[in-house]
């Protein structure tokens, strides 16, 4: 279908030096002027760091463990993806801004924006933000497979080529390194709960309890167990309201690589050669020399 051409495998534009899709660039003024409300909650991540998982946990907390309520719609529509825009002509029209504006409060939204591109009203309104970070190597592997299966993103090229682009920050939403460091700094000034994918894998109960406390919510043992069960990788993989099989059907091809791919820590070891690992580590040391932020690459 030729009408899908404009978004499929299109090149990226740029906003303030950050690579973003052309449709996001074309609506950037509206994104920047977005009016946050004080009771908005923002879930922010670098893409593929565990956004969908965190969204499901947060929804389960907000619905007091009511699984049926969490099935009311897909992740993509339960939580507006703030900056994301796909024109109707793409065959998969979506406007995160319109969805957010139409949503009654209290709203929960998702973003992949680096901290400096978050609409200023979120800070003016002192909104709460949950940020989730994932170690660079697993994040890169996940992003590579996501580019292969998602035709709305630029062609990733070979694994080696994609690794170089990731290291250079020449991928959608920019440098992973700047993203995690920027949000890490921001947490000292704003109401940000900074979580790690690796911690969530190691002890999901402990991390869910952190989220509960941050949201000033309670959950008894029974509800906590329900949240744990419903948000496990195995359950989410089979959940059509969370696994993206009901959305973006012309754009995502789960037969190339499923959205719910592996959900583990350390899969990078199946992708990096010894030489690639050495090159990546050397560069990583330089890029992460100016931060106290530490990641675990394995459990």
Question: Which positions touch ligand A3P (CB under 6 A)?
Answer: 45, 47-53, 138, 142, 145, 231-233, 236, 260-263, 267
- Distance CA(258)–CA(150), nearest Å, equals 10
Q: Where are the alpha helices (DSSP H) in 79-170?
A: 96-102, 121-124, 136-149, 159-167
Burial class (CB in 10 A: 0-12, 13-18, 19+), 144: buried
Question: Nearest distance from residue 268's CB to ligand A3P, in Å?
Answer: 9
- The least CB distance from residue 235 to ligand A3P, in Å, is 7
Q: Cβ closer to ligand A3P: 233 or 295?
A: 233
179 is catalytic: no
Smallest distance, ligand A3P to C-beta of residue 108, A: 14
CB 289 to ligand A3P: min, Å:
26
Q: Indicate the residue among 92 and 121 with the shorter CB distance to ligand A3P.
A: 92
Among residues 99 and 172, whose Cβ is nearest to ligand A3P? 172
Least distance CB 252 / ligand A3P (angstroms): 11
Do residues 9 and 74 make contact, with C-beta atoms less than 8 angstroms apart?
no
274, burial (CB in 10 Å: exposed 0-12, middle 13-18, buried 19+): exposed
Contact assessment for residue 40 and residue 106, using Cβ atoms and an 8 Å cutoff: yes
Long-range contacts of 21-30 (CB under 8 A, 24+ apart): 21/85, 21/152, 21/172, 23/85, 23/86, 23/87, 23/90, 24/83, 24/84, 24/85, 26/85, 27/85, 27/95, 27/97, 30/97
Q: Which is nearer to ligand A3P, 238 or 282 (CB)?
A: 238
Nearer to ligand A3P, 138 or 247 (CB): 138
Catalytically active residues, by annotation? 112
């Amino acid at each position: 279908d030729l009408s899908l051409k404009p978004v499929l495998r299109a090149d990226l534009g740029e906003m303030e030096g950050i690579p973003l899709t052309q449709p996001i660039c074309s609506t950037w003024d509206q994104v920047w002027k977005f009016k946050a409300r004080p009771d908005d909650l923002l879930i922010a991540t670098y893409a593929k760091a565990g956004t969908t998982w965190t969204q499901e946990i947060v929804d389960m907390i907000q619905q007091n463990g009511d699984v049926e309520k969490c099935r009311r719609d897909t992740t993509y529509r339960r939580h507006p993806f703030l900056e994301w825009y796909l024109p109707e002509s793409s065959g998969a029209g979506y406007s995160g801004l319109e969805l957010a504006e139409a949503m009654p409060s209290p709203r929960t939204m998702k973003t992949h924006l680096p901290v400096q591109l978050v609409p200023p009203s979120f800070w003016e309104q002192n909104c709460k933000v949950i940020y989730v970070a994932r170690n660079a190597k697993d994040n890169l592997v996940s992003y590579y497979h996501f580019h292969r299966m998602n035709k709305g993103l630029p062609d990733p090229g070979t694994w080696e080529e994609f690794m170089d682009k990731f290291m250079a920050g020449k991928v959608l939403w920019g440098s992973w390194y700047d993203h995690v460091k920027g949000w890490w700094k921001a947490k000292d000034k704003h109401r940000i709960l900074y979580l790690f994918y690796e911690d969530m894998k190691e002890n999901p109960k402990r991390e869910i309890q952190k989220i509960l406390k941050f949201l000033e919510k309670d959950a008894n043992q029974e509800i906590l167990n329900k949240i744990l069960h419903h948000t496990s990788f195995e359950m989410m993989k089979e959940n059509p309201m969370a696994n993206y099989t009901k959305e973006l059907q012309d754009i995502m091809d789960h037969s190339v690589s499923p959205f719910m791919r592996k959900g583990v820590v350390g899969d990078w070891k199946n992708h990096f050669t010894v030489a690639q690992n050495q090159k990546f580590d050397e560069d990583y040391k330089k890029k992460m020399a100016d931060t106290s932020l530490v990641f675990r690459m394995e459990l």
